[in-house]
Amino acid sequence: MGKYDGKSVVITGGSSGLGFATARLLADGGAKVLITGRTRATLDAARERLGNGVLTVVSDAASMTDVNDLADQVKTELGQVDALFVNAGVTRTVPFESMTEDVYDELLTVNAKGPYFTVQKLAPLLSSGSSVVLTTSVVNVLGMPALSAYAASKAALRSMTRGLARELLPRNVRVNAISPGPIDTGILARSMPAEAAQQMVDELTAGSPMLRMGEPDEVAKAVAFLAFEATYTTGAEFPIDGGASQL
C-alpha cells in the first residue's frame, strides 16, 4: 500500500526540475498526480518517465484563460484536490540598470500573479484537510545581484502565503511555502548563457554553507512533508537551502 494512496495532487510546472521530482515521489507513493507546463512535448516526456497514470495539462501560468481552464480540467479529472503544489516559475537574471518593463512584467506575472490566481481558481476544489505549497526562493531574503525583480516576485509569493493561509484556514486548508536555495535542476543554464550560468553555479556552491547545490529529491521530500504531514503548520516558509538563509 502506498503512503499517498487515494490522494489527488496538482503540480504546476511539474514537467521538469522540482515539480517533476515531487510528482515522481508522490506518484510512486500511490497519489493520483496532475502536472502542468507550457509545452506539450515536455509534458509527454515527463509522463513517459512518471508512468501513464500521471495526468498532464498544457497550461501557462501567465494566462488567466489557461488558469481558468486548468481549474475546469482538474474538476473533471480529479474532482477534488488534497495537495496543490504551485511551483511553475521563471528566473531571469538581469542587472537592475538594464531591466526592461517586459522582463519585469514577465517575472511578476508568472511568479506572483499566476500562482495567486491558480490558488484562487482551484480553492473550491481543495478538500478539508488539504494543503497548498508555494515555491518561493532563498533570494526573497537575500540581496543578490541581477535578481532584484525575480526576488521581488518571490517575496510577493512569500507574503501571499501568509494571507492565503489566513483566508483558507476556515476551510481547514493549510498554505505554506518552500524556499529553495540553489538546486541542481538546470534552471540557470536555461535562463542565461552557459558561461554565466556556470559562473553563478560556482559562486553559489562556494557561498553555500554546505558547499554544494541541493538535489531536486531533497526538495520533493520537503514538499511532501508540508503537504501531508505538517498538520500544525500554516503560513510558514520552509528553507531548503543548505543553510544559506540562516548561517
Ligand X SMILES: NC(=O)c1ccc[n+]([C@@H]2O[C@H](COP(=O)([O-])OP(=O)(O)OC[C@H]3O[C@@H](n4cnc5c(N)ncnc54)[C@H](OP(=O)(O)O)[C@@H]3O)[C@@H](O)[C@H]2O)c1
Tell me the angle at which helices 216-224 and 17-28 cross, rounded to the nearest 10 degrees: 60
Kindly state the cell numbers that stand for 182.
540553489
Count CB neighbours of 32 within 10 A: 20
Q: 3-class SS at 214?
A: strand
Burial of 193 (0-12, 13-18, 19+ CB in 10 A): exposed
* Catalytic residue, candidates 4, 116, 150, 232: 150
3-state secondary structure of 128: strand
Q: Which is nearer to ligand X, 167 or 184 (CB)?
A: 184
Contact pattern from residue 8 through residue 27 relative to ligand X, giving x for each residue in contact according to CB under 6 A and a dash for the rest: ----xxxxxxxx--------
Tell me which residues in 86-105 interact with ligand X (CB under 6 A).
Answer: 87-91
Instruction: Scan residues 145-184 and list those touching ligand X (CB under 6 A).
Output: 180, 182-183
Interaction of residue 62 with ligand X, rule CB under 6 A: yes
56 is a site residue for ligand X (CB under 6 A): no
**Should residue 137 be labelled a site residue for ligand X when binding is judged by CB under 6 A?**
yes
Residue 69 DSSP one-character state = H
State the Rg of the chain over Cα. Answer: 17
Nearest residue (CB) to ligand X, 15 versus 234 = 15
CA-wise closest residue to 88 among 58, 65, 68: 58
What string marks each residue from 185 to 224 as x (binds ligand X by CB under 6 A) or -? Answer: xxx--x----------------------------------
Q: Give the nearer residue to ligand X in terms of CB position, either 172 or 175.
A: 175
Least CB distance to ligand X at residue 124 (A): 21
Task: Mark whether 150 is an active-site residue.
Answer: yes
Answer for the pair 22, 85: CB distance below 8 angstroms, yes or no.
Answer: yes
Residues that bind ligand X (CB under 6 A): 12-19, 36-39, 42, 59-62, 87-91, 110, 135, 137, 180, 182-183, 185-187, 190
Q: Active-site residues: which are they? A: 150
